[in-house]
Structure 1
């Protein structure tokens, strides 16, 4: 495994970080708790020391699973990244979406990052994770109903109390990051980034590079699209959000798989799966610090970790990018 320092902090993360959204089951058709715990343990054994989770993932389930998986690991050997600002148990703030929890019960989710809510969320996360501090505490989505100043001053308080080491944001624009920086020192921005979704290259990447902020790329395999395992005609299980996701429309599956077939010989020559090659390419892009990769079982976890056992030359990166830029998805 390879490790990189996050921005200007002293926090060193594994370049493949375990993304625990799917482990929580919510929006992924449920979860098998034992398999999820074993996936995290296998990931750690393969060198993945960093785990990214959030309370909303399974409405606490993901954090509980992470806590169970790391309980026998020395705390200073693992980096816990979690989030705040999405409430399913409080109708306050900016309404986000209507959903269902893992038991099928209807829930309404709000983006809310008021001071008292953040403090409560932090305490709840610490209990579920079984720890007394969080390495990186990130606002999950911008909350239009709460001033950024109030939100960031609350996180700064948690840092001074020793409950949080570093502050991060997710899904923030460059302008929102600049505003947040007035009240707390940000370590990073966690944003969607993949071969087929590169919007952050316009402003977020340049801002982070200029100001020494890390970038955590989430959904680098575009929620499984770029693994090559999802073919035209695929039918998702009930409760899987990808069934209605634009990237998984039939015409996009056809075009994406054609691109993946064109780079498969390179993957084969290096003894890599397509997913591993995609992760490698992502980690070589300017400004990207780490890539989050989810896994539902041990085999997937070990495969993700194994991506960094190989390297890509500048020519190989250029070759992939040139082929990539020929795809025209219908979005």
Structure 2
């Protein structure tokens, strides 16, 4: 593995690839065309492409499907992967998503994750999302207890604002925070960036390719299946979607100049952003994750970054909501 494609994650001894594999697409919850053989092949291809960091969660699947698929690969490639998971959300019997930050629930779900993955300890355990009915300090105490019990080595927190991050960190020091971040949606990272720098907290961002849009996988003419949850995202609606395609045309021109794919260019831009440690990329097929992984090797000059930033600013995605 190229050492330039690795980083130390925050204030930890975890050495992770700068592109991580986000396991949400293989969970089968929102993707319509996943199957187990393809998912396992995609996970294995990620490892061969130089990705050693895998991000899953208790709620990645109605019955832990992503964990169970990942377990098959971990059994074959022992000791080669750094595993992060998240607790604090789950699907009920009616398949409604529930946010639950009660300590007992968090500890129970952490145990279940280990059972599904067939491993004794996670490298990193996040609180998936703050529960508005539970003080975040109580949830943080549960994550700290999981570490004390030997179920995880390090703590993280996801989907928090600066105030919540500080409150959690005061109770349970974190080595990583996981917000959504992409060319369309930068507002979740900007307020926490300086605190993360000062406290040596790694930023592990998701939605880097925005559900395939920034990979160039969705054309203007693409008609979504009515069951496709991407229809609910503001970036896939109206003028925001049109502006997204205009940005993609510009990115495509630059990618051609640099002899790389659009998704590789997007990944590279992401990794050049201040304090961003890891870009999580989801995939359902081996060639998708292999393409994203190559983004770790794309160098961008300061002028190229400024060009991209100017395009983003001119097209104005400030109305795109983080959902």
Q: TM-score, normalised by structure 1?
A: 0.91
Tell me, what secondary structure is at the counterpart of 2:223? coil
- Map of 1:61 onto structure 2: 65
- Map of 1:325 onto structure 2: 313
Aligned mate of 2:155, from 167, 170, 176: 167
Tell me, what secondary structure is at the counterpart of 2:276? coil
Conserved in 2, the CA contact under 8 Å of 1:14 and 1:290?
yes
- Map of 1:143 onto structure 2: 131
1:184 and 2:184 correspond: no
Tell me, what secondary structure is at the counterpart of 2:314? coil
- Map of 2:206 onto structure 1: 218
Tell me, what secondary structure is at the counterpart of 2:31? coil
Conserved in 1, the CA contact under 8 Å of 2:127 and 2:140?
no
- Map of 1:111 onto structure 2: 99
2: CA distance, partners of 1:245 / 1:182? 33
**Ranges in structure 2 where 5+ consecutive residues have no aligned partner:** none
2: CA distance, partners of 1:34 / 1:263? 33
2: CA distance, partners of 1:316 / 1:68? 41
- Map of 1:94 onto structure 2: none
1: CA distance, partners of 2:37 / 2:26? 10
What does the per-residue CA deviation read over 1:219-261, in whole Å, with 9 as the maximum and x for residues that have no partner?
0111112122212231123532102221111422321111221
2: CA distance, partners of 1:150 / 1:252? 39
Conserved in 2, the CA contact under 8 Å of 1:142 and 1:171?
yes
RMSD across aligned C-alpha pairs, in angstroms? 1.5
Shift of 1:326: 0.7
**Equivalent pairs, count:** 315
Shift of 1:106: 3.3
- Map of 2:230 onto structure 1: 242
**Ranges in structure 1 where 5+ consecutive residues have no aligned partner:** 90-104
Over 3 Å counting, the alpha-carbon distance change for 1:201 and 1:134 in structure 2 is: closer
Shift of 1:283: 0.5
Aligned mate of 1:156, from 110, 133, 144: 144
2: CA distance, partners of 1:114 / 1:176? 16
Conserved in 2, the CA contact under 8 Å of 1:231 and 1:253?
no
Tell me, what secondary structure is at the counterpart of 2:163? helix
2: CA distance, partners of 1:136 / 1:33? 25
- Map of 1:260 onto structure 2: 248
1:40 and 2:75 correspond: no
> After superposition, where does 1:232-311 map in structure 2 within 5 Å?
232-311=220-299
- Map of 2:304 onto structure 1: 316
1: CA distance, partners of 2:268 / 2:38? 26
Q: TM-score, normalised by structure 2?
A: 0.93
Conserved in 2, the CA contact under 8 Å of 1:28 and 1:239?
no
Shift of 1:30: 5.1
What does the per-residue CA deviation read over 1:175-202, in whole Å, with 9 as the maximum and x for residues that have no partner?
1111112211111110000001010343
Shift of 1:281: 0.1
- Map of 1:4 onto structure 2: 7
1: CA distance, partners of 2:181 / 2:117? 27
2: CA distance, partners of 1:301 / 1:278? 13
2: CA distance, partners of 1:120 / 1:164? 13
1:74 and 2:62 correspond: no
Stretch deviating more after TM superposition (194-203 or 272-281): 194-203
